[in-house]
């Protein structure tokens, strides 16, 4: 089980335990109306908990990155939490309205209520007066969020990245509305229990994150200004190499890390793996971008030497750090980028001889200049390069890797490329006894 899976389920378990401790009356609940009350509260607690953690992670904080395995893993957790919040919100909405519908249709009879005791606590009385507006804005915000998330998930590979960002800019506003909804409609006595304290901390942190997001200040403290120094196109593989002169403030990076680059504020920041090693005496970084979408297809026309860019980072833990004497690197297509950066690093500091490294590069497209550069980088770093061109050599499989690397049972694997391809190789080696949770490192380079 990976740490992001642990974090996902531990959050649910902790909130569930705290809720049970705060509302033990659920154990004596009888009848659908009593169960409805508890399920409404429980689903609401879990939903706002998911939303709060997702909002906090949207700030790209440093502190959980190492434990979760990098920002790419954090974003995967962020996505899961968003889906979890959607499912829980729909459940919450159904628990609120389902019984009402059943009463209206004559399937259930609403029990008679006796007179309510007067509320003596002035704060509780204040929140009671806000219940109707909180229910109203919460319900309509729920409809908007469901529509927004459903459209985003169903069209996630179709809509341009900038449109995806525009959809997401509504979510901090929706979150703030739902915080008001949750604070007002949660049982008042929750706030005097450990559950209330945890929820208060989570919603306060989530509110801070939402405000920072609305101000456009996510990652602002990790931004450095740079200037494009050089552009070089590899037309055979539809890849553009952009070299950037970095201004003061860049802390340096490890090979395999990535950064967010903004060349057009309307387009927003896009994540790219850094394709160069760091040299403080020559403060430059390079990116390889492949023409895969609306934005990247236009970069060759829109980027020019001298153009200012904003670089945010570095991020990521795909840094080749382990104690295995042999490593197998697998770069599929544009996934070769982090390995180029590492080869440059090894060639500069002379540490290549300390490990035996096999680099497998699988590609469907061919550019002779790009392959020549790759071969030169591998020779300089003393890396054993294996290039497979799909039309000529067929596809890379676990069997082909094992044939080329007899030491494979004792190696570590570093994969960057299409997720499905990486998952297939991971499962293949797992079935042959490799402890993939420790030794198969896979970049989940998808930020939406």
CB contact at 8 A, 48 and 33: no
Q: Are residues 229 and 367 in the same domain?
A: no
The answer to whether residues 30 and 172 belong to one domain is: yes
Q: Is residue 108 part of a domain?
A: yes
- Asked if 299 and 331 sit in the same domain, the reply is no
- Characterize the bridge pairing of strands 223-234 and 239-246: antiparallel
196, 227: one domain: no
Distance CA 178, CA 112 (A): 31
| Pairwise CA distance, residues 448 & 446, whole Å | 6
Q: With contact defined as beta carbons under 8 Å apart, do 293 and 163 qualify?
A: no
Residue 327 bridge partners (DSSP): 357, 412
| 72 and 201 both lie in a single domain | yes
Task: Identify the band that residue 351 occupies on the pLDDT scale cut at 50, 70 and 90.
Answer: low
How far out from the chain centre does Cα 54 lie? 10
Please state, in angstroms and rounded to a whole number, the distance separating the CA atoms of residues 79 and 150.
13
Contact call for residues 430 and 436 (beta carbons, < 8 A): yes
Specify the CATH number for the domain of residue 431. 3.40.50.80
Judgement on whether residues 371 and 417 belong to the same structural domain of the protein: yes
Q: Are residues 284 and 174 in the same domain?
A: no
157 and 301 in a single domain? The answer is no
Q: Give residue 147's pLDDT.
A: 78
> Is residue 321, in this structure, part of any structural domain at all?
no
Given this model, what pLDDT does residue 287 score? 95
pLDDT tens by residue, 233-244: 999 989 999 999
Give the range of the structural domain holding residue 270, as residue numbers without chain letter: 221-315
Q: Of the candidates 281, 315, 349, which is a domain's last residue?
A: 315
Q: How far apart are CA 135 and CA 178, in angstroms?
A: 10
164-178, 227-241, 369-383: range with lowest mean pLDDT: 164-178
CATH of the domain at 137: 1.20.120.1770
| DSSP, res 20 | H
Q: Please, how many CA atoms are within 13 Å of residue 274, restricted to the half-sphere of its CB?
A: 29
Give CA–CA dist 360/396, Å, rounded. 8
Closest alpha carbon to 84 in 38, 55, 46: 46
Q: Is the pLDDT higher at 2 or at 438?
A: 438
Q: Please give the average per-residue pLDDT across 131-138, as a whole number.
A: 93
Q: Cα 194 to chain center, whole Å?
A: 29
Q: Is residue 181 part of a domain?
A: yes
Q: What mean pLDDT comes out for the span 138-149?
A: 86
Q: b/e for 111-133, b at 16 or more Cβ within 10 A? A: eeeeeeeeeeeeeeeebeeeeee
- Going 18 to 20 to 25 to 31, the CA torsion angle's sign is positive
72 is a domain residue: yes
367 falls within a domain: yes
Please give the tally of structural domains in the chain. Answer: 3
Q: Is residue 128 part of a domain?
A: yes
pLDDT exceeds 70 at position 117: yes
Indicate the pLDDT class of residue 113, thresholds 50, 70 and 90: confident
- Average pLDDT of the chain is 90
Whole-number percent of the chain with pLDDT over 90: 69
Of 188, 214, 240, which residue constitutes the final position of a domain? 214
Q: How confident is the model at residue 218 (pLDDT cuts 50, 70, 90)?
A: very high
Pairing of strands 270-273, 440-442: unpaired
Burial of residue 245 (CB within 10 Å: 0-12, 13-18, 19+) is: middle
Burial class of residue 148 in the structure, from the number of CB atoms within 10 Å of its CB (0-12 exposed, 13-18 middle, 19+ buried)? middle
Q: Is the pLDDT of residue 447 over 80?
A: no
Give residue 356's region: left, alpha or beta (phi > 0; psi -120 to 50): beta
Kindly state whether residues 271 and 396 are assigned to the same domain: no
Weakest-pLDDT range from 249-258, 286-295, 428-437: 286-295
Mean pLDDT for the stretch of residues 163-182: 86
Q: Are residues 192 and 238 in the same domain?
A: no
pLDDT digits (tens, 9 = 90+) for 299-312: 889 999 999 999 99
Q: Is 259 left (phi over 0), alpha (psi -120 to 50) or beta?
A: beta
Verify cis geometry, omega within 30 degrees of 0, for the bond prior to 120: no
To the nearest 10 degrees (0 to 180), the angle between helices 32-57 and 171-185 is: 140
Find the DSSP H helices in 110-247: 122-129, 131-154, 161-169, 171-185, 194-214
Residue after which a domain boundary falls, among 269, 285, 315: 315
Residue 448 included in any domain = no
Taking the C-alpha atoms of residue 355 and residue 378, their distance in angstroms, rounded to an integer, is: 14
Do 299 and 335 share a domain, yes or no? no
Query: In 3D, which of 329, 330, 241, 243 has the Cα closest to residue 279?
Result: 243
Local confidence band at 128 (pLDDT 50, 70, 90 cut-offs): confident
203 in any annotated domain: yes
C-alpha span between 122 and 129 (Å, rounded) = 11
- Cβ atoms of 261 and 270 closer than 8 Å: yes
User: Per mean pLDDT, which of 97-111, 123-137, 191-205 is the most reliable?
Assistant: 191-205
* 197 and 253 assigned to the same domain: no
Instruction: Tell which residue, 373, 369, 379, has the closest CA to residue 346.
Output: 379
């Amino acid at each position: 089980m990976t740490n992001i899976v642990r974090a996902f389920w531990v959050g649910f378990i902790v909130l569930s335990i705290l809720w049970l401790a705060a509302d033990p009356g659920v154990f004596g609940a009888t009848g659908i109306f009593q169960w409805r009350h508890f399920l409404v509260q429980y689903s609401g607690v879990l939903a706002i908990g998911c939303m709060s953690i997702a909002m906090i992670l949207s700030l790209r904080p440093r502190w959980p990155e190492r434990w979760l395995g990098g920002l790419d893993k954090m974003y995967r957790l962020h996505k899961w939490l968003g889906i979890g919040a959607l499912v829980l919100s729909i459940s919450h909405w159904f628990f609120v309205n389902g019984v009402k519908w059943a009463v209206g249709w004559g399937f259930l009879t609403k029990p008679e209520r006796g007179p309510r005791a007067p509320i003596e606590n002035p704060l509780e009385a204040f929140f009671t007066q806000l219940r109707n507006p909180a229910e109203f804005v919460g319900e309509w915000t729920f409809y908007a969020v469901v529509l927004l998330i459903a459209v985003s998930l169903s069209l996630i590979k179709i809509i341009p990245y900038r449109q995806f960002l525009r959809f997401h800019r509504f979510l901090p506003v929706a979150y703030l509305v739902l915080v008001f909804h949750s604070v007002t409609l949660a049982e008042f006595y929750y706030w005097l229990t450990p559950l209330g304290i945890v929820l208060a901390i989570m919603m306060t942190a989530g509110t801070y994150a939402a405000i920072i997001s609305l101000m456009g200040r996510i990652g602002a403290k990790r931004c450095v200004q740079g200037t494009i120094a050089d552009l070089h196109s590899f037309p055979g593989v539809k890849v553009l190499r952009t070299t950037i002169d970095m201004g003061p403030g860049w802390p340096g990076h490890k090979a395999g890390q990535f950064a967010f680059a903004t060349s057009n504020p309307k387009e927003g920041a896009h994540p790219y793996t850094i394709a160069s090693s760091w040299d403080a005496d020559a403060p430059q970084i390079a990116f390889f971008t492949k023409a895969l979408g609306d934005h990247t297809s236009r970069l060759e026309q829109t980027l020019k030497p001298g153009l200012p860019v904003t670089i945010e980072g570095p991020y990521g833990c795909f840094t080749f750090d382990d104690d295995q004497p042999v490593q197998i690197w697998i770069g599929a297509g544009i996934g070769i980028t982090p390995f180029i950066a590492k080869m440059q690093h090894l060639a500069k500091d002379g540490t290549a001889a300390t490990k035996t490294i096999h680099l497998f590069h699988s590609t469907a497209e061919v550019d002779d200049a790009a392959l020549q550069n790759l071969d030169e980088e591998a020779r300089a770093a003393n890396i054993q390069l294996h290039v497979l061109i799909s039309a000529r050599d067929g596809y890379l499989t676990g069997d082909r890797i094992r044939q080329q690397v007899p030491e494979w049972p004792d190696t570590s694997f570093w994969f960057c490329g299409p997720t499905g391809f990486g998952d297939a190789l991971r499962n293949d080696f797992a079935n042959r006894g490799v402890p993939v949770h420790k030794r198969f490192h896979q970049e989940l380079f998808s930020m939406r």
